[in-house]
A = this chain, B = another copy of it.
Amino acid sequence: MDAIDARQGRVKRLPREVRERQILDAAVRVFSAHGYHTASMDEISDVAGVSKPMIYAYLGSKEDLFAACIRREATLMMEAIAGGVQGDSAPDMQLWQGLRAFFSFVGAQRDSWRVLHRQATSQGGPFSDELVAMRGRAIELVDALLVRSATKQGMDEQATKGTSAMAAALVGAGESMADWWVDHPEVPGRTLATWLMNLVWMGFGDLVEGKVWTPNED
């Protein structure tokens, strides 16, 4: 089991904030490299250039540390997305911008995404809670876009109720695509965004217009 090296040069007596950041940085790297269980607190402390008890003093148990990683990276991601969307654009363009920002973030921060999504998903329990929270915020946002677009295009009020389900599906599809992307880095992020746009936007629009692929027989 090869340990991550490149520990930071030991500087002494740094303020708590800085140490916490170093520890979180190290934790994200080690967790994403080895997975939650296989990652050892010893290695994290080593990579962070700090002794183990510091981690427990500042960030708590291993679970706490992992949760803290997720929280931080999730926040970073949501900010990156929000920063990439222009609020005055048309709904489809906003969705497009959001997707591009999303895939751009994931592409630049594969480590973060690994720890944030793939690891947190495969471990159950308290970890996924952090994800659920973030996903919830994302879904609300997307749902607002869908509703704006649907009512504008004249979708009947009844069908509008389904938007939240579709928003959830879209967000889930985005997550899954990003996850899939980890194993297929050669595909450009723009392409992913386009695919997703076609899937959900056509699937959504065509759901009104009725132009979709259907099996001839069953």
Contacts and interface: CB of A to CB of B under 8 A. Distances in A.
Number of copies of chain A assembled together: 2
Interface string A175-218: 11101100110010000001101110111001000001111111
A38 interface: yes
Contact of A198 (B96, B168, B184, B213): B213
Contact of A212 (B124, B194, B203): B194
Given A93-B215, A212-B194, A122 B35 contact: yes
Interface in A91-125: 92-93, 96-97, 100, 118-119, 121-124
A194 B203 CA distance: 10
Interface of chain A, helix or strand or loop or mixed?
A: helix
Nearest to A215: B96
A4 interface: no
A122 B119 contact: yes
A173 interface: yes
How many chain A residues sit at the interface, stated as a range, is 35 or more
A172 B168 contact: no
Contact of A176 (B97, B177, B202, B212): B177
A37 interface: yes
A25 to B, nearest CB: 21
A184 B168 contact: yes
A178 to B, nearest CB: 9
B169 A187 contact: yes
A6 B66 CA distance: 33
A38 to B, nearest CB: 7
A26 to B, nearest CB: 19
